[in-house]
Structure formats: structure tokens, C-alpha cells
Amino acid sequence: MKQLRRSLLMTACALLTGVATPSMAQEAKLTAVSFLPLNVNFGAQFKRWVDAVNERGKGVLQISAIGPDAMPPTEQANALKNGVVQMGFIAATYYVGMMWEGEVLPLGERPMKELRANGAWEYLDKLHREKLNAVLLGQIGDGVKMFVYTTKPAPAASADRPMDGLALRSVPIYKPFFDAIGARTVSMAPGEVYTALERNLVQGYGWPMWGLKDMGWLSITKYRYGPGFLGANTPILVNLDAWNRLNDRQRAFLQEMALWLDSEWPQWRAARDAEEDKLQSAAGVKYVDMGPGFAKRANDLRWTELQSHSPEHIAHLRKLMTR
């Protein structure tokens, strides 16, 4: 009887003070920010994963996802690091000021299963915890490659500089490659690209296989040059302090959902690849195969650039992530 009274008293105190006993653990609620809108392209794939987490995690953990309209991508990494948001789907290019090593993700040549097994993922997770105050939970975009798209045929003045004389919209991740193949690189926001193409201010751009229709560029694009290079890999991150506040069951559930994504992603990717290829073909976009050296050159240049910023870590990660 005394034990029963004591248990009832502890429960009452917990209810009054808002402190949960182990048997009364609260459902965790996390806010996740995405660098892309949640209704298009890779942002929609992240939302698809979030929806699966929320469906399976009722009573355990729920995620509320917000997009760049609620928080600009340039502010998201700091917000995640400082705990303003608890999760992030943020391209590593947005946190190079804190760590360069995240930029190796688009260069990986091994599937997630191998990266988790050979220590590459653990090594990257440790660096994210130390430099970004974040747990590296998973990624979306693995295997989706970048291409060069143009509105006119490449001059191909030489095999070494096939884009000689063209102006291409570029971002830091592939600028060294564009410079090497002879293009004049131009920096501009995605929302400015269509007008720039229409007015011939640029004659092309770099972009993944996905999303030309979403961005409104499909009707004006005529050529896609490959094979695909680099990748569209974007990490799913959890603020380390928020992670530590979760209980064992909640952390295990998130890890389980990350592994579930590893197994589901190849099917999601294959379906979307087929859809995008069909859209481009129907719009008359012609694929031009530049040979295996095209992609290798892009990847090697990026590895070299990253290694100049973090020699020890990048060299080790390259051994683990490439074949």
C-alpha cells in the first residue's frame, strides 16, 4: 500500500511540474528546415521522408518541416548549429564556412550501405558533431548526377575545352570544372536563370538530372551533356543538443528511419530518373555523351579543391568514398 501511494504521489508531482516519468515519456516534436521548397524536386523527397517518419512515429516523435520561405537557406546552417531549429535538410555548400568536409558527399561513389559499413559515415558524422554541432543522420540525392545543359550546341573547339566561349550559370561546387572546359562562369540565383537564357546572357547552366520543368527551364533547354558528374547528395542533420535530449527510443527510431531511407531511396531515385528522362526527351532535349573522361575530370578537380581546404580529412575520406 505504501509503495502504491508513493507511485501515485510521484505521478501527481510529475503532472503538476511538467516532468515526465520514464513510463510517461512525451512525444518528441522537432522542427526541420529545408533549403528547397517542400513541394518540388529534392525538397519534395525530404517531405516524403518526413511524412513517413510522422506516420510511423506517432506517440514517439514528430517532425514539422518548413522551407526556405520561412528561413532563407543562407541562415539555416547557423540556425541548426545554434538549436533555433532541431533538424535540417541543408546542402553542404551552405555550411562550408564551418566545415569543408561535408562537400565530399556529392563525390561519393559507394552506396549508403557501404559508407556506413566502411567507417566513412561515422568519420563524417564525427566531423559534423565537432564543427557543426549536428548529427549526420542520412542523405537524399545519392546517385542523382549533375549535367551541363545548353540552349545551343557546344562549340567543341577542342576535346579539352568543349564549352569554349559559352557563358554558363555556375555555383562553387562545379566552377573549377566549368573553367577547365572553357566556359565563362556567371553567378546568379536560380530565379534569374530563365530570363538570362532567354536574353542570351548565358547559354547554359549546371543542374542535376531532376527539376528542369519545376524550375521552368525545360522549354528553353536544347542539350544535356554528360555523363553525369558530382552529385546532388544533401544531408539530413539533427542538432546535437536536441539529439542528446531525445530518449533512447526516440534516437533509435530516427536511426531506424534513416536506414529505412537508405533502402527506399534507390527505388525513389529510379522512378524519378525515368520520369525526368521522359520529360526531357519529350521536350526535345538532346543528350550528348562526352565520354568517361568528362565526369572524371569534374570529380578530380573538385577533390583537389576540397583537399586544399582540409588536406588530412579529405584525403582520408576520398579513400573511403571512392572506388
CATH assignment of the domain containing 183 = 3.40.190.170
The whole-number pLDDT of residue 202 equals 97
For residue range 195-211, list pLDDT tens digits in order.
Answer: 999 999 999 999 999 99
Q: State mean pLDDT over 129-156.
A: 95
**How many whole angstroms separate alpha carbon 318 and alpha carbon 314?**
6
Among 16-25, 157-166, 232-241, 270-279, the least confident range:
16-25
For residue range 39-86, list pLDDT tens digits in order.
Answer: 988 999 999 999 999 999 999 999 999 999 999 999 999 999 999 999
pLDDT at 178 over 70: yes
pLDDT at 240 over 60: yes
Q: State mean pLDDT over 128-133.
A: 98
Give the burial string for 56-74 (b: 16+ CB within 10 Å, else e). Answer: ebeebbebebebbeebebe
Same domain, 170 and 302: yes
**How many whole angstroms separate alpha carbon 57 and alpha carbon 143?**
28
pLDDT at 4 over 50: no
**Who wins on pLDDT, 195 or 173?**
195
Q: Is residue 80 a part of any domain in this protein?
A: yes
Same domain, 213 and 258: no
For residue range 84-119, list pLDDT tens digits in order.
Answer: 999 999 999 999 999 999 999 999 999 999 999 999
Same domain, 166 and 259: no
The whole-number pLDDT of residue 11 equals 37
Place 25 in a pLDDT band, splitting at 50, 70 and 90: low
Residue 149 CA to its chain's centroid (Å): 21
CA trace torsion 36, 102, 120, 237 (10° rounding)? -50
Among 194, 176, 217, 185, CA closest to 301: 176
pLDDT at 157 over 70: no
Same domain, 71 and 184: no
Q: Is residue 19 a part of any domain in this protein?
A: no
Total Cβ atoms within 10 A of residue 216: 14
DSSP notation for 168-212: EE--GGGHHHHHHTTPEEE---GGGHHHHHHTTS-SEEEEESS-H
- SS3 (DSSP) at 217: coil
Domain count for the chain = 2
pTM of the predicted model as reported, rounded to 2 decimal places = 0.87
What cell numbers appear for 32 in the block? 526541420
Same domain, 71 and 56: yes
Q: Is residue 186 a part of any domain in this protein?
A: yes
Place 29 in a pLDDT band, splitting at 50, 70 and 90: very high
Domain that holds residue 199: 146-231+284-309
Q: State mean pLDDT over 140-149.
A: 96
Instruction: Give me the residue label for grid cell 544533401.
Output: 234
